[in-house]
Amino acid sequence: LAKTTQPISMDSYEGQEVNITCSHNNIATNDYITWYQQFPSQGPRFIIQGYKTKVTNEVASLFIPADRKSSTLSLPRVSLSDTAVYYCLVASWGAGSYQLTFGKGTKLSVIP
Amino acid sequence: ETGVTQTPRHLVMGMTNKKSLKCEQHLGHNAMYWYKQSAKKPLELMFVYSLEERVENNSVPSRFSPECPNSSHLFLHLHTLQPEDSALYLCASSPGLAGNNEQFFGPGTRLTVL
């Protein structure tokens, strides 16, 4: 089971780019990397997912190096509404078992 | 609104009580999950169901008993819980079972065991 490590907290000013890195040294071949955002009193919400290289959608980018032992979530020009906890997830399904590990989360605080 | 609803949103129960948490998904998904989220701990996967069949039970104590009567509904039956079971219980669903399937989470049930 892949173990994930991410910073406990980060602060950023509005308008800046924020990069949050998650380490997953023993990621398996079949594992995908997914990032979720969670606001207080809500369930996590999908942000972006990747397997390798770079993925970009309308809200974020995900950078995954060739060895896949880490991944970096990039949030461009953050606003106050991006203040939340961000989780990385490494997961795969195979051989009748779900291998799934959430990180402990990074609490992002955006400052005006 | 994620298409996954959970009731109740808050629950306080004594250690001798029996209660149930309910989850319903309106997304036509085939897989449903129960997670436990405690303060300062990562999300813990408890149970996974696929097409109403339990496919994963991550060493969860027997005082937690899941039930999936159909692919849209998932229950978590609780009995003789301990104070350390107090947590946010999250339900999620996904189209199927695969590491690249996006999971859609409900808002959770905040459980307090006295």
Question: What are the pLDDT digits (tens) for A38-59?
Answer: 999 899 999 999 999 899 999 9
- A49 and B104 within 8 Å at the Cβ level: the answer is no
* B-chain residue closest to A51, CA distance: B100
* A-chain residue closest to B96, CA distance: A93
Q: Does A9 touch chain B (CB under 8 A)?
A: no
- A45 and B105 within 8 Å at the Cβ level: the answer is yes
Q: Is the dihedral of CA B98, B104, B106, B111 positive or negative?
A: positive
Averaged pLDDT for residues B11-20: 93
- B43 and A102 within 8 Å at the Cβ level: the answer is yes
- B43 and A93 within 8 Å at the Cβ level: the answer is no
Closest of A32, A31, A62 to residue A47, by C-alpha: A62
Q: How far, rounded to the nearest angstrom, does the alpha carbon of residue B95 sit from its chain's CA centroid?
A: 17
* B-chain residue closest to A4, CA distance: B42
Residue whose structure tokens are 């009580």: B17
Residues of A numbered 35-74 whose beta carbons fall under 8 angstroms of chain B's beta carbons: which are they? 36, 41-46, 49, 51
* A-chain residue closest to B105, CA distance: A43
Evaluate if residue B90 carries a pLDDT over 90.
yes
Closest of A85, A47, A54, A3 to residue B102, by C-alpha: A47
Give the pLDDT confidence score for residue A1 in this predicted structure.
64
Q: How far apart are CA B56 and CA B50, in angstroms?
A: 9
Closest of B39, B57, B45 to residue B94, by C-alpha: B45
C-alpha separations of B40 from A92, A103, A106, A107, B82 in Å: 24, 11, 11, 11, 19
Note whether B34 and B44 are within 8 A (CB): no
- A32 and B90 within 8 Å at the Cβ level: the answer is no
- B92 and A43 within 8 Å at the Cβ level: the answer is yes
Evaluate if residue A99 carries a pLDDT over 70.
yes
Ranges A25-29, B3-7, B89-93: which has the least confidence: A25-29
How many interchain CB pairs under 8 A, A with B? 61
Evaluate if residue A2 carries a pLDDT over 70.
no
Note whether A73 and B32 are within 8 A (CB): no
Q: How far, rounded to the nearest angstrom, does the alpha carbon of residue A108 sit from its chain's CA centroid?
A: 12
Helical H runs in chain A?
A: none
- Pick left, alpha or beta for residue A98 (phi over 0 → left; psi -120 to 50 → alpha; otherwise beta): beta
Q: How far apart are CA B75 and CA B69, in angstroms?
A: 8
Averaged pLDDT for residues A5-12: 96
